[in-house]
Amino acid sequence: MAKSLLNVQLDKNWRLSCSDWEAKVLNEKQLQYAANDALVAVKIFDKLVKKLEPTSFWKSSKLNFDNIQERLEPFFDVRFKEGFLNNCASIERSKAAVVAGKKSKIKPLQTRSISTRSKALYDNCNLQAPDGELLCTIDAKKAQWYVDQSLGEIISNTPLTVRLNFEPSGRAVGDVGRYYQNPKENRCVVCGRRDPLSRKNVVPREYRKHFPGNEL
């Protein structure tokens, strides 16, 4: 839109756009990137609104930013998951709240909300070979799948243990095998807390699209 409407080419280098935007102090390139994005957004908005407001040949009308701001303020600082207001009554209540809030200083949001898990990530159910050797720990859903497919049977419920009725293609061998045999702790790897927890990928999904296909 910036190119087609304003003939402006923004710097969208992925290393910059995917940099740490939650850092307490942003570097000069980040500040310039954010400032350009914000300025171009305003200019695009200005250009589009003027197209929707026809003017007569002898009268040039100016954009009334006060009216626009009044219409947009109910949506300021609304988190993405909350969505838009559902009806006019809600909008009017929000406008009233905005007017009242102008008398007090609005504290800017410092962090964004991060959803946490409602249940444990690791169920630590046991999967055994036909001779009883422990192969690995798996989640309850996967364990039940083996039973439902008649590939194994439950031999214990505490913890849930399923024994296969066929010889697996591989067994637990060496340090790697012992890793998969050990129960996994439902604990934060950074602070050690057990609750609440949020799962994070070592390589964020947003970055993976920039990787060569043969590395994923």
Is residue 107 assigned to a domain? no
Is residue 194 assigned to a domain? yes
Neighbours of 26 (CB within 10 A): 15
Neighbours of 168 (CB within 10 A): 14
Is residue 212 assigned to a domain? no
CA–CA gap between residue 166 and residue 151 (Å, rounded)? 7
Residue 100, pLDDT score: 61
Q: What are the C-alpha distances in Å from 21 to residues 15, 16, 46, 212?
A: 12, 9, 27, 24
Neighbours of 163 (CB within 10 A): 19
Q: What's the domain count of the chain?
A: 2
Would you place residue 84 in the very low, low, confident or very high pLDDT band (cuts 50, 70, 90)? very low
Residue 138, pLDDT score: 94
Is residue 115 assigned to a domain? no
Residue 189, pLDDT score: 84
- Structural domain ending residue among the three candidates 101, 136, 171: 101
- Structural domain ending residue among the three candidates 101, 134, 154: 101
Is residue 91 assigned to a domain? yes
The answer on 130 and 195 residing in a single domain is yes
Q: What is the mean pLDDT of residues 11-18?
A: 82
Residue 182, pLDDT score: 93
The answer on 74 and 140 residing in a single domain is no
Q: What is the mean pLDDT of residues 141-162?
A: 95
Task: Say what percent of the chain tops pLDDT 90.
Answer: 27
Q: Express each pLDDT in 156-211 by its tens digit.
A: 999 999 999 999 988 888 888 899 999 999 998 888 888 888 888 788 777 877 77
Tokens found for residue 98 = 């905005």
Is residue 108 assigned to a domain? no
pTM for the full model?
Answer: 0.43
The answer on 76 and 164 residing in a single domain is no
Residue 127, pLDDT score: 96
The answer on 140 and 74 residing in a single domain is no
Q: What is the mean pLDDT of residues 25-38?
A: 90
**Residue 59 is part of which domain span?**
2-101
The listed range with the strongest mean pLDDT (4-13, 27-36, 138-147) is 138-147
Q: Express each pLDDT in 113-135 by its tens digit.
A: 677 888 888 999 999 999 999 99
Is residue 135 assigned to a domain? yes
Residue 164, pLDDT score: 96
Q: Express each pLDDT in 35-83 by its tens digit.
A: 988 898 998 888 888 777 565 555 555 667 777 777 777 777 666 555 5
The answer on 134 and 81 residing in a single domain is no
Would you place residue 87 in the very low, low, confident or very high pLDDT band (cuts 50, 70, 90)? very low
In the numeric block, the tokens 């798996």 are attached to 138
Residue 215, pLDDT score: 46
Is residue 196 assigned to a domain? yes
